[in-house]
């Protein structure tokens, strides 16, 4: 082998070696870049923890007094009603802000619900399961209560506890809000059919922006949080075969914290204040338990009629102010008249 051939072979081997080393270095750099990129990405949240955060934040809502506008549209037409709502934990009271003849009201003390129906002119005691006479939903379920029904709780709305499963679908934008889409396979305790899912879109503050269950989509708006985590507007849209066949909306117009604990009577028949002599029915036992006399349930209609009519304190003060105004006018007139006569007398 000539010197030139030897040198050429050595040169070729050196180039191959350098190329091999360069490829190995390039692969190492790519691996390091991939590792840095992986480490730079934030860890994905646990979907179960997101759902638990929603439950925890809702259960910590303070006692509130609100005025809301409810609007419902279905095959029977569009109906709007305004309500005054107080709630403290599970306990709540709903009163329609309608003329006296149409002012339905209901209260729930955590065990049973009492309601007054002005069309039937009766007061009823009921268990909350199955109650749908009027709106009396748990305000803590706003945004996850697809039918605004009284029996729905934050637990029954999400159904992931006690054996349910939650899967993180991914990150999605809902009205410019970054949310995590969580798909829930409900716990067997809820007896849902196979293939039944609940979809929830949750942001980093555990606010629910979208909720889909049983063909109903609920969208929440947080333009002015009344209390952290509580939407000020909710719209539930019902669909059949992809076509909208109705909706229910709830808009909170006013809200304020209840600083002093409300008396326990707020959540009872006394709190809904039916007219005197109103029959009181106990629906679970299918019995008439008596008549409301303004302060308690009595057995006799005659006894209820004889009881003095209870007037709310606010109304008492209102009537007092009106009487004072009526009294001031004639007194002022008489004083002016007397002074006028005194001024006309000759010196």
One-character DSSP codes across 32-73: HHHHHHHHHSPPPPPHHHHHHHHHHHHHTPPPEEEEEEEEEE
Q: Does the pLDDT of residue 37 top 60, yes or no?
A: no
CB neighbour list of residue 66: distance below 8 Å, 6 or more residues apart: 84, 85, 86, 139, 226, 252, 253, 254, 255, 256
Q: How confident is the model at residue 266 (pLDDT cuts 50, 70, 90)?
A: very high
Q: Are 12 and 6 in contact (CB under 8 A)?
A: no
Q: Does the pLDDT of residue 278 top 80, yes or no?
A: yes
Higher per-residue confidence, 261 vs 3:
261
Q: How confident is the model at residue 27 (pLDDT cuts 50, 70, 90)?
A: very low
What's the rounded Cα separation, in Å, for the pair 219 and 207? Answer: 11
pLDDT value at residue 321: 41
pLDDT value at residue 4: 40
Can you tell me the mean pLDDT for 172-181? 96
Q: Does the pLDDT of residue 7 top 90, yes or no?
A: no
DSSP string, 154-200: HHHHH--TTT-EEEEEEEEEETTEEEEEEEEE--GGG-PPTT--EEE
Q: Does the pLDDT of residue 14 top 60, yes or no?
A: no
Of 26-30, 163-167, 266-270, 330-334, give the lowest mean pLDDT range. Answer: 26-30
CA 202 to chain centre: 15
Of 69-73, 153-157, 301-305, 322-326, give the lowest mean pLDDT range. Answer: 322-326
Triad 8, 13, 16: Cα angle to 5°: 125
pLDDT value at residue 109: 96
Show the tokens assigned to 155. Answer: 């637990």
Q: Does the pLDDT of residue 152 top 50, yes or no?
A: yes
Higher per-residue confidence, 93 vs 41:
93
Can you tell me the mean pLDDT for 267-289? 92
What's the rounded Cα separation, in Å, for the pair 142 and 206? Answer: 13
pLDDT value at residue 343: 57
Q: How confident is the model at residue 191 (pLDDT cuts 50, 70, 90)?
A: very high
Q: Does the pLDDT of residue 192 top 50, yes or no?
A: yes
Q: Does the pLDDT of residue 316 top 90, yes or no?
A: no
pLDDT value at residue 21: 43
pLDDT tens-place string over residues 193-215:
989 999 999 999 999 999 999 88
Q: How confident is the model at residue 166 (pLDDT cuts 50, 70, 90)?
A: very high
Which has the closest alpha carbon to 87: 331, 255, 314, 287? 255
Percent of the chain at pLDDT above 90?
61
Can you tell me the mean pLDDT for 8-20? 50
N-terminal to C-terminal alpha carbon distance within the chain? 156
DSSP string, 57-125: HHHTPPPEEEEEEEEEEETTEEEEEEEEEEEETTEEEEEE-S-GGG--EEEE-SSEEEEEETTTTEEEE
Can you tell me the mean pLDDT for 227-251? 91
Higher per-residue confidence, 227 vs 129:
129
Average pLDDT along the chain:
82
Q: How confident is the model at residue 8 (pLDDT cuts 50, 70, 90)?
A: very low
């Amino acid at each position: 082998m000539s010197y030139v051939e030897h040198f050429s072979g050595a040169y070729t081997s050196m180039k191959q070696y350098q190329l091999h080393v360069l490829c190995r270095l390039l692969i190492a750099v790519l691996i390091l870049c991939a590792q840095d990129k992986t480490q730079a990405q934030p860890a994905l949240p646990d979907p179960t923890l997101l759902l638990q955060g929603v439950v925890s934040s809702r259960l910590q809502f303070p006692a509130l007094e609100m005025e809301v506008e409810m609007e419902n549209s279905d095959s029977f037409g569009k109906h709007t009603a305004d309500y005054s709502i107080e709630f403290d934990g599970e306990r709540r009271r709903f009163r329609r802000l309608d003329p006296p003849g149409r002012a339905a009201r209901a209260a729930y003390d955590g065990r049973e619900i009492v309601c007054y129906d002005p069309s039937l002119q009766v007061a009823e005691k009921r268990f909350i399961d199955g109650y749908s006479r009027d709106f009396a939903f748990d305000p803590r379920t706003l945004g996850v209560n697809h039918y605004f029904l009284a029996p729905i709780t934050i637990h029954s709305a999400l159904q992931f506890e006690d054996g349910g499963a939650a899967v993180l679908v991914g990150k999605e934008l809902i009205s410019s809000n970054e949310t995590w889409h969580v798909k829930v396979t409900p716990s067997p305790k809820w007896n849902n059919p196979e293939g039944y899912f609940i979809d929830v879109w949750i942001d980093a503050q555990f606010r629910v922006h979208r909720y889909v269950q049983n063909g109903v989509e609920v969208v929440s708006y947080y333009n002015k949080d009344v209390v952290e985590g509580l939407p000020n507007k909710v719209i539930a849209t019902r669909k059949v075969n992809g076509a909208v066949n109705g909706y229910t909306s709830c808009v909170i117009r006013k809200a304020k914290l209840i600083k002093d604990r409300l008396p326990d009577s707020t959540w009872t028949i006394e709190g809904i204040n039916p007219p005197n002599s109103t029959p009181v029915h106990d629906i679970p036992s299918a019995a008439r338990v008596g008549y409301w006399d303004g302060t308690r349930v009595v057995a006799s209609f005659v006894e209820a009629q004889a009881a003095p009519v209870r007037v709310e304190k606010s109304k008492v003060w209102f009537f007092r102010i009106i009487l004072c105004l009526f009294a001031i006018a004639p007194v002022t007139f008489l004083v002016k008249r007397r002074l006028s006569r005194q001024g006309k007398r000759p010196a």
